[in-house]
Amino acid sequence: MSELTVLEAITAAMADSLEADSSVVVLGEDVGVSGGIFRATQGLQQQFGPQRVIDTPLDEKGIVAHAVGMALYGLRPIVEVQFSGFIHDAFEQIMFCASKYRWMTGGEYSCPMVLRAPSYGGIKGGFWHSQSPEAYFTHGGGIKVLTPTTPDDCYRSLLAAVADPDPVLVIEPVPLYRSLRGEVERDGKALEPGTSRTVRAGRDVTVLTWGPQVLRSVEAAEALAADGIDVEVLDLRSLVPLDVDAIVASVQRTGRVLIVHEAARTGGFGAELATLVQEKAFGYLHAPIERVTGHDVPYNFSTGDEYYRPDVLRITAGIKRLTEFEF
């Protein structure tokens, strides 16, 4: 058992995958010699060689297109997209090629590849470098979407993505890369996609969240405990597949739901969660479902990241509105 940062856990997962399976390769801009813009792949090319840790030209669409070809010919590529804001250049290759081969060939071919997407705000990177792209990829089908937060979850989610026979997008929490540490046992055990984690048990309100907002939601819950408000925080960890049973069970216990995410409000995955709760647990609700989200505008250098991202005060206010609501 070692105490690792989120970034170190991600590096460990790639190293363990490269060590365990000779078909695994890593590719992306600067992932080899320099170890990637965040140094997530630092040392891997020196350990496994340039044939397995491959520097590419600056061309996201081309990188993913090459990875699709590699996967179809028996390799298991791990693509680093550097910043999720640039993943849109590769959208066609991800959503119309990688995610569809199993379906267009009647299951004869699959496309086992991993897309690592450093995401979210909090690094003062402006709209190019501070995005939450999960909703785009949950809509089209054929690709799993994992959203780990802790070092251990990041390690095991990446192992799960590498082992998966189909494409997997792993949305990584950039603002926590070096600030969050936790114990990780490098035992090679993968996280089961579609399993959430109850971070904090409670009886009054359920908070559904993922990514860096898990930590802020827990902070809000702890602050409200002094007022006698008992908040349950569910870290979804995986949006496709989704742990529907855990969500419904939590709502049945608390009767109130707050959804917290960094992506913009309109069309965000929170809208899907709200609909799910309405369909599966409407009879248990004591108040309308609330959302605390990013704003319906891009990140902006002049206003700053903290204007955009949900903070503890906004989350706390959302929980209080739920507990004070009366029909």
> Is residue 271 predicted with pLDDT exceeding 80?
yes
Q: Is 309 exposed, middle or buried (0-12, 13-18, 19+ CB in 10 A)?
A: buried
**Of the candidates 105, 230, 94, which has an alpha carbon nearest to the alpha carbon of residue 171?**
94
Identity at 90, one-letter amino acid code: A
Residues 225 and 127 in one domain: no
The DSSP code sequence of 311-324 is -HHHHHHHHHHHHH
Spatial neighbors of 203 by CB under 8 A, at least 6 apart, are 230, 232, 253, 254
Does some domain include residue 192? no
- One domain, residues 146 and 226: no
How far apart (Å, rounded) are the C-alpha atoms in residues 10 and 158? 7
Residue range 131-155, pLDDT digits in tens = 899 999 999 999 999 999 999 999 9
The answer to whether residues 70 and 216 belong to one domain is no
Can you say whether the dihedral through the CA atoms of 295, 296, 300, 302 is positive or negative?
negative
- Asked if pLDDT for residue 123 goes beyond 90, the answer is no
What's 227's DSSP letter?
Answer: T
**b/e map 178-194, b = 16+ CB within 10 Å:** eebebebeeeeebbebb
Same domain, 249 and 306: yes
Same structural domain, 48 and 155: yes
List, for residues 207-224, the tens digit of each pLDDT value.
Answer: 999 999 999 999 999 999
Is residue 32 one of the residues assigned to a domain? yes
Structural domain that includes position 266: 197-324
Reported as type and span, the H/E element at residue 199 is strand 197-200
Total of domains in the chain: 2
Residue that is written with structure tokens 């909090």 in the block: 122
Boundary of a domain, candidates 160, 184, 208: 184
Q: What pTM value is reported for the model?
A: 0.96
197-200 and 231-235: which strand pairing? antiparallel
Strand, helix or coil for residue 188: coil
* 287 DSSP assignment: S
Most confident of 79-88, 137-146, 304-313: 137-146
- Asked if residue 64 belongs to a domain, the reply is yes
Closest CA to 132 of 306, 294, 318, 311: 294
Residue with the two structure tokens 């890593």: 26
Q: Are residues 130 and 227 in the same domain?
A: no
Q: Is residue 189 part of a domain?
A: no
When pLDDT is cut at 50, 70 and 90, the band that residue 128 belongs to is: confident
pLDDT(304) > 80: no
| Cβ atoms of 61 and 111 closer than 8 Å | no
Distances (CA, A) of 240 to 43, 67, 111, 277, 287: 32, 21, 17, 16, 27
Q: Are residues 125 and 256 in the same domain?
A: no
Asked whether 118 and 82 are in contact (CB, 8 A), the reply is: yes
Which of 153, 184, 215 represents a domain boundary (last residue)? 184
CATH of the domain at 223: 3.40.50.920
Residue 166 lies in a domain: yes
User: Which residues in 54-86 are b (16+ Cβ under 10 Å) and which e?
Assistant: bbbeeebbebbbbbbebbbeebbbbbbbbbbbb
pLDDT bracket for residue 85 (50, 70, 90)? confident
Asked whether residue 191 is assigned to any structural domain, the reply reads no
190 located within any domain: no
Average pLDDT, the chain: 95
184, 210, 227: which is the final residue of a domain? Answer: 184
Same domain, 90 and 224: no
Q: Is 308 a member of any domain? A: yes
Which of the residues are catalytic?
129
In terms of average pLDDT, the best of 74-88, 113-127, 297-311 is 74-88
Place of tokens 């792993």: 170
Q: Which residues pair with 13 in a beta bridge?
A: none
pLDDT band at 298 (very low <50, low <70, confident <90, very high): confident
Per-residue pLDDT at 126 exceeds 80: no
CB 304 within 8 A of CB 131: no
Same domain, 52 and 168: yes
* Residues 52, 89 share a domain: yes
170 and 216 inside one domain: no
How high is the pLDDT of residue 125?
75
Domain at 29, CATH number: 3.40.50.970
Same domain, 16 and 141: yes
